[in-house]
Amino acid sequence: MPRVHNKLASKPKAGKLTKAMPRHSPIISKAPHMLHGGDYNPEQWDPQTWTEDDRLMGLAHVNSVTLGVFSWVSLEPEEGKFTFEWMDKIMDMQAAAGRIVGLATPSAASPAWLSAKYPDSLRVGQDGVRRRHGNRVNYCWTSPAYRAQVSKIATMLAERYKAHPALGYFHVSNEYGGECFCDLCQEAFRGWLKVRYGNLDTLNKAYWTAFWGHTYTDWSQIEAPGGTGETAVYGLTLDWKRFASDRIVDFYRQESGALKKVAPSIPVTTNLMGVYPVLDPWKIAPYMDFIAWDSYPWFSSTPSDLGSWTYTSFAHDLNRSLKNKPFVLMECSPSSSNWYPVMGLKRPNAHVLEGLQAVAHGADGVQYFQWRQSRGSSEQFHGAVVAHNNRSDARVFREVADLGRELESLDDVVGAAKPAEVALIYDWENSWAIDMVAAPRTKNRDYLGTVLAHYSAFWSQGVTVDVVDSDQDLSGYKLVVAPMLFLLKDGVVERLAKFVEGGGTLMTTYWSGWVDSTTLAFQGPSPLSKLLGLWTEETDALFDGQSNQVVSSASDLLTKGAKYSASVLCELVHTTTAESLASYGSDFYAGRPAVTRNKFGSGQAIFVASRNEQSFTNDLLISLMKQLGISGAVEGDLPTGITVQARHGDGKDFLFVLNCSDKEKAVRLGESGLIDLDGAEFSGELILPAFGTAILVRAKAGSLVGASN
């Protein structure tokens, strides 16, 4: 790959710039660099090892460590007895080395003394059984005793370190997750429902409890769904999921609030988990100063499978979209992860690719779990920067250092924006609702997979996509893609209609607009009917192995006569104002519309009635991109497995060319005037090794004059 540093010496030519967007401020103002480092758990080690760690961190180009994630019992071995002295030393060592610390609150690892003394702090499972002490994140979200203890230790940490030169930000808890079914949480659920519905009559109507005689006559009769209890009231199940997510947000607000009270200017974050279903990230994001997430895609498949790369890109885009700002990849494994059934090794180059992939999608930091591999206990074989071999010349350590060196050269990219013209809707509440209902198929509903199938069409073209939920403002996008939007939250139809009316293009699919936010089916035409210019009569669920065909009859968005295979779900619609672009090829609904377009205001709404093979999704979306003038990061066709992702800095675009395949690839870009970070003119063809990467710069004339570094 072209050597990466940020000397921009040559004379650049004028080039295309994406929609101008101001550069964001650095996430940590005193460290305006790409963060590189990760979870450091020194309480496992002796002071000589700390000294060795300090030396090795220098060699690995680490500038940031996350400290104290599981340190509660090491900081407070018994209630009220505090032992911060070891942490003082580590903080001082980090400050002396010029590194910043993401100081964690330790609530993920409740001490054994706390569980023994305050048993209601322990979580209760869906079976109603209180768990015993052990593992981690094993606490009740409501327990007043636990919340008081959490606030106390957070306050102590903030008071002690708020002015410490090493402190960069607070890392609140760790991977919040799970549900508690204790009496206190159930009572909180009833309180939450009272606020939402006001009275039981409204709740009963929303839940359609008259069917099967489920009518509640007193609030006290309502229990959390699932387990051995109620599983038949969809509205209740959906509300419990909303409540469980809100409970976590409430807990986070208290915990981070304790820090903010003492140290209001120190940024707070917590590490999210991609598409983890229990916590709706859109609900917690407003209370986070910056977004951070943990990514462990590795080794769920063979190295030649592109799926984990496209999923990871999607998840990065989601995390960037949460605040429309740079985020931090808070954790990834420098080597293999310890929970997959097969723990294959990361291939050469793949580590640098993984790090630059995050940056390409908007990360301003790449960090690991963990710095030094534990000698024992549950994560003893999880990959770490310093492995059991304890060597800095080991492959993993060297690749980490390589990435660190490259990140050090990317100060110009810090804060660079990533404006998008496409929004792809992936919505938590919709996902819960789809997974819950008993129709039209229980197998292979695959909401996420369907959204990813749409995402990959953009990814392979190097087109930037914002991944948003259905509550977000859509103005400013050219294209909104909303696959399987089964549940329509209040206000969504109005927002979609306004977007299309104003000139936008909406693409949606089968299984959209069936139920309202309480999961009640719409009666009469779906609220999407007018916008789509059609009404749905029935939906056919196909058995495994059964298929239909979609045959194109139009010649603008699809090639006339093109045939694609359809499976899983085929919706049978009647057009009202829409035109049919393709029709079904067989079965009793042969000839009926399978793809439609409705002109609405100055925009258009495209409807795809069946789940079609990937080539259909690619062809349709690529045509739409051409029609709407949505272009990828670079001109030229990208070979399979390659994406190019752009970030927009001060007057220049940074282009990250990522070879996510396990084969060497030649990339021919049809654009002149690109330079590499050395300032050398780019010749037009790049040969990237398997999992290789390159960074190119497109400059606006004159913008690089006087560029620093």
Under the binding rule (CB under 6 A), the answer on residue 331 touching ligand GLA is yes
> In whole angstroms, how close is the CB of 252 to ligand GLA at the nearest point?
15
Q: State the CB neighbour count (10 A cutoff) for residue 702.
A: 11
Q: Return the range that interacts with Zn ion (CB under 5 A); candidates 48-56, 180-188, 297-305, 494-502.
A: 180-188
Longest dimension (CA), the chain: 77
Under the binding rule (CB under 6 A), the answer on residue 171 touching ligand GLA is no
331 is catalytic: yes
Q: Pick from 241, 382, 454, 611: which binds ligand GLA (CB under 6 A)?
A: 382
142 interface partner picked from Zn ion, ligand GLA, none, CB below 5 to 8 A per type? Zn ion
Q: Which of residues 361-380 bind Zn ion (CB under 5 A)?
A: none
Q: Which of residues 216-275 bind ligand GLA (CB under 6 A)?
A: none
Rounded Cα distance between 417 and 496, Å, is: 25
Q: State the CB neighbour count (10 A cutoff) for residue 211.
A: 10
Rounded Cα distance between 96 and 505, Å, is: 54
> In whole angstroms, how close is the CB of 133 to Zn ion at the nearest point?
15
How far is Cα of residue 53 from the mean position of the Cα atoms in its chain? 31
Q: Which of residues 105-164 bind ligand GLA (CB under 6 A)?
A: none
Rounded Cα distance between 439 and 634, Å, is: 43
Backbone angles phi, psi at 682, to 5 degrees: -90, 130
Residue by residue, DSSP assigns 42-57 as GGGS-HHHHHHHHHHH
Of 343 and 436, the one with the shorter C-beta distance to ligand GLA is 343
175 interface partner picked from Zn ion, ligand GLA, none, CB below 5 to 8 A per type? ligand GLA
Of 131 and 498, the one with the shorter C-beta distance to Zn ion is 131
59 interface partner picked from ligand GLA, Zn ion, none, CB below 5 to 8 A per type? none
185 interface partner picked from Zn ion, ligand GLA, none, CB below 5 to 8 A per type? Zn ion
311 interface partner picked from Zn ion, ligand GLA, none, CB below 5 to 8 A per type? none
Number of residues that bind Zn ion (CB under 5 A): 6
Q: Which of residues 127-156 bind Zn ion (CB under 5 A)?
A: 140, 142
Of 175 and 289, the one with the shorter C-beta distance to ligand GLA is 175
Nearest to 707 by CA among 679, 687, 686: 679
> In whole angstroms, how close is the CB of 39 to ligand GLA at the nearest point?
6
Of 197 and 369, the one with the shorter C-beta distance to ligand GLA is 369
Of 145 and 262, the one with the shorter C-beta distance to Zn ion is 145
Under the binding rule (CB under 5 A), the answer on residue 57 touching Zn ion is no
687 within 8 A of 635, measured Cβ to Cβ: no
317 interface partner picked from Zn ion, ligand GLA, none, CB below 5 to 8 A per type? none
Of 140 and 573, the one with the shorter C-beta distance to Zn ion is 140
Under the binding rule (CB under 6 A), the answer on residue 175 touching ligand GLA is yes
421 is catalytic: no
Interior CA angle at 276 toward 517 and 331, to 5°?
145
Q: How many residues does the chain have?
A: 709
382 interface partner picked from ligand GLA, Zn ion, none, CB below 5 to 8 A per type? ligand GLA
State the amino acid at position 212 in one-letter form. W
Under the binding rule (CB under 6 A), the answer on residue 399 touching ligand GLA is no
> In whole angstroms, how close is the CB of 222 to ligand GLA at the nearest point?
34
Rounded Cα distance between 683 and 674, Å, is: 8
Of 62 and 630, the one with the shorter C-beta distance to ligand GLA is 62
429 interface partner picked from ligand GLA, Zn ion, none, CB below 5 to 8 A per type? none
157 interface partner picked from ligand GLA, Zn ion, none, CB below 5 to 8 A per type? none
310 within 8 A of 456, measured Cβ to Cβ: yes
Q: Pick from 100, 180, 366, 453: which binds Zn ion (CB under 5 A)?
A: 180
Of 174 and 645, the one with the shorter C-beta distance to ligand GLA is 174
> In whole angstroms, how close is the CB of 322 to ligand GLA at the nearest point?
18
Of 241 and 418, the one with the shorter C-beta distance to Zn ion is 241
> In whole angstroms, how close is the CB of 147 to Zn ion at the nearest point?
11
CA dihedral sign of residues 512, 516, 521, 525: negative
Of 327 and 369, the one with the shorter C-beta distance to ligand GLA is 369
Q: Pick from 27, 100, 182, 695: which binds Zn ion (CB under 5 A)?
A: 182
First-to-final CA distance of the chain: 21
> In whole angstroms, how close is the CB of 148 to ligand GLA at the nearest point?
25
Rounded Cα distance between 385 and 381, Å, is: 12
Rounded Cα distance between 690 and 694, Å, is: 12
Out of 175, 179, 354, 571, which one is annotated catalytic? Answer: 175
656 interface partner picked from Zn ion, ligand GLA, none, CB below 5 to 8 A per type? none
369 interface partner picked from ligand GLA, Zn ion, none, CB below 5 to 8 A per type? ligand GLA
The strand pair at 35-40 and 579-584 is best described as unpaired
Under the binding rule (CB under 6 A), the answer on residue 346 touching ligand GLA is no
182 interface partner picked from Zn ion, ligand GLA, none, CB below 5 to 8 A per type? Zn ion
The strand pair at 505-509 and 479-482 is best described as parallel
Out of 76, 179, 255, 331, which one is annotated catalytic? Answer: 331
176: exposed, middle or buried (Cβ count in 10 Å: 0-12, 13-18, 19+): buried
CA dihedral sign of residues 221, 224, 229, 234: positive
Of 185 and 401, the one with the shorter C-beta distance to Zn ion is 185
Nearest to 168 by CA among 50, 63, 285, 86: 63
Q: Which residue is it, tokens 């939450």?
A: 192
Of 180 and 487, the one with the shorter C-beta distance to Zn ion is 180
Rounded Cα distance between 178 and 138, Å, is: 9
Q: Pick from 107, 174, 321, 430: which binds ligand GLA (CB under 6 A)?
A: 174
Rounded Cα distance between 60 and 537, Å, is: 61
Under the binding rule (CB under 6 A), the answer on residue 369 touching ligand GLA is yes
> In whole angstroms, how close is the CB of 38 to ligand GLA at the nearest point?
10
Buried b (16+ CB within 10 A) or exposed e, 31-54: bebbbbbbbbbbeeeeeeeeebbb
Q: Pick from 250, 280, 289, 294: which binds ligand GLA (CB under 6 A)?
A: 294
Number of residues that bind ligand GLA (CB under 6 A): 8
Q: Pick from 54, 120, 223, 379: which binds ligand GLA (CB under 6 A)?
A: 379
The strand pair at 422-425 and 465-468 is best described as parallel
Question: For residue 342, what are the CA distances in angstroms to 133, 351, 354, 660?
Answer: 30, 18, 19, 20
Rounded Cα distance between 607 and 581, Å, is: 10
Interior CA angle at 282 toward 34 and 458, to 5°?
65
Nearest to 297 by CA among 319, 282, 322, 316: 316
605 within 8 A of 509, measured Cβ to Cβ: no
Q: Return the range that interacts with Zn ion (CB under 5 A); candidates 182-190, 230-238, 299-307, 528-536.
A: 182-190
Interior CA angle at 599 toward 601 and 605, to 5°?
100
Token pair belonging to 619: 């062809």
Residues forming the active site? 175, 331
Residues that bind Zn ion (CB under 5 A): 140, 142, 180, 182, 184-185
**Which parts of this chain interact with ligand GLA (CB under 6 A)?**
174-175, 294, 331, 338, 369, 379, 382
